Amino acid sequence: MLGHISFGVEDLGRAAAFYDAAMDAIGFARVFTGPHAVGYGIAGTSNDKLLLVLRPKGTHPPGEGFHLAFDVPTREAVDCFYRAALDHGGRNNGPPGPRPHYGPSYYAAFVVDPDGYRLEAVCQ
C-alpha cells in the first residue's frame, strides 16, 4: 500500500547513525545520501522506502498513536533490531518477546528513536 515514508529529523548525522545500525540489523541498507537527507531500502537499489530529512526548527515528530512497524523474517532479526537500536541512541519501549494479545505467532520489540519516533520490529 505505501510507497515510502519520510521522517523529519533534528540531527541528520545522529539519525543516520541510528538507522544505519537498526536497518542493517533487519536486512536493509542506506541507499541514498544527500546533503539534507538519507534514505533506506533494499541494498543495491536506489529506491528508498524510509527517507530521513532535516526538519525545520521548532517542529516535532508525531506523538502518541503513531508508530512504524518493520516486518522482519525471524525472531532473531527482531532481537538484533532491538539491540542495534538501543546501542545507537534508541530507547526501550518494549523488549523483544511474544505478544499473544496481537496474535498467536506475534513476536516484536518496540523502541523510540533519537528523535522520538516509535518503531517496532515484528515477526509473525
CA-CA-CA-CA torsion sign (91, 63, 41, 11): negative
> Cα–Cα distance between 115 and 118 in angstroms, integer?
9
Q: Tell me the mean pLDDT in the region 16-43.
A: 95
Residue type at 41 in one-letter notation: G
- Domains, the chain, ordered by start: 5-57+65-123 (3.10.180.10)
**C-alpha closest to that of 80 among 15, 27, 17:** 27
pTM of this structure: 0.92
Of 43-47, 48-52, 76-80, 96-100, minimum mean pLDDT range? 43-47
- Cell numbers describing residue 78: 527482531
- Chain-wide mean pLDDT for the chain? 94
Output the pLDDT for position 58: 81
Q: Tell me the mean pLDDT in the region 47-72.
A: 88
Q: Tell me the mean pLDDT in the region 27-52.
A: 93
**Which of the four pLDDT bands, split at 50, 70 and 90, describes residue 1?**
low
